[in-house]
Amino acid sequence: MEKAISAYLRNLIGEEGLDVIERLSNDEFTDQDIVNETGAQLSTVRRTLFTLFEHGIAWYDEKRDKQSGWIIYHWHIDFDYIQHRLDADAQKLIAKLERLLYDELNNVYYTCDNNCARFVFERASEYEFMCPICNTALNYQDNAAVVAALEEKIHELKADVPAIFYPENIQVLELALAEQE
C-alpha cells in the first residue's frame, strides 16, 4: 500500500484497522471473510468498515444468502477515492497555511513578556500597548521565525503530501476543514 494512503487510513481507523485492511486480498468481501482472513475481532472489523463507510471510502452491496435467506453485506474499498481525498485535504491545508502566512507578512505583532497572547498592531494600540491579561507592556515581536516555519511547512506539504499527517499539521488541517463547514 502506498505510504500516503496507509498514513491516511492510519489516521482514520488506527493501527488495528489498517492492519485489517492491509491484509485483504479481495476487493469484495463480507465482514466474516475479513475475520477469517485476518484473524481480527468481528467488532474491530465492523468498526473499521463503518468508519470507512462514513468517510465515503467503503461501500457495500446487499445480497441475500440463498441458504439462510439472510442479507449479507459485501464490502468494497475505494483506494482511488482515498488518494483523491488525500490530495483534496492537502490542498485545504496548504490554503490554510498560505492564509496564515499572508497574515504574518501583512501584520505587525505585539506580545508581553509572559507570552499571554499575540496582538496585531491595531489591537495592541487599542489596549494602549498593555497586555489585557497580565497588565505588563506589549512589545513588538519579530515574526521572522513564524514566517520561516510557515514557509517551510508549505514547502514540505507541496513536496510530500503524507506530511499532512505530521501531528503538528493534523491540528491545522482540522481547523481548516472546520472553517469550511
Please give the residue ranges that form the binding site for Zn ion (CB under 5 A): 112, 114, 116, 131, 133-134
Place of cell 497586555: 131
> What minimum distance in Å lies between the beta carbon of 117 and Zn ion?
7
> What minimum distance in Å lies between the beta carbon of 130 and Zn ion?
9
Residue closer to Zn ion (CB basis): 134 or 175:
134
> What minimum distance in Å lies between the beta carbon of 136 and Zn ion?
6
Place of cell 468481528: 42
> What minimum distance in Å lies between the beta carbon of 122 and Zn ion?
18
Secondary structure of the chain in HEC code, one letter for each residue: CCHHHHHHHHHHHHHHHHHHHHCCCCCCECHHHHHHHHCCCHHHHHHHHHHHHHCCCEEEEEEECCCCCCEEEEEEECHHHHHHHHHHHHHHHHHHHHHHHHHHHHCCEEECCCCCCCEEHHHHHHCCCECCCCCCECEEECCHHHHHHHHHHHHHHHHCHHHHHCHHHHHHHHHHHHHHC
Residue closer to Zn ion (CB basis): 127 or 166:
127
Phi and psi at residue 12, to the nearest 5°: -85, -50
Residue closer to Zn ion (CB basis): 41 or 125:
125
Residue closer to Zn ion (CB basis): 11 or 139:
139
> What minimum distance in Å lies between the beta carbon of 125 and Zn ion?
16
Residue closer to Zn ion (CB basis): 110 or 165:
110
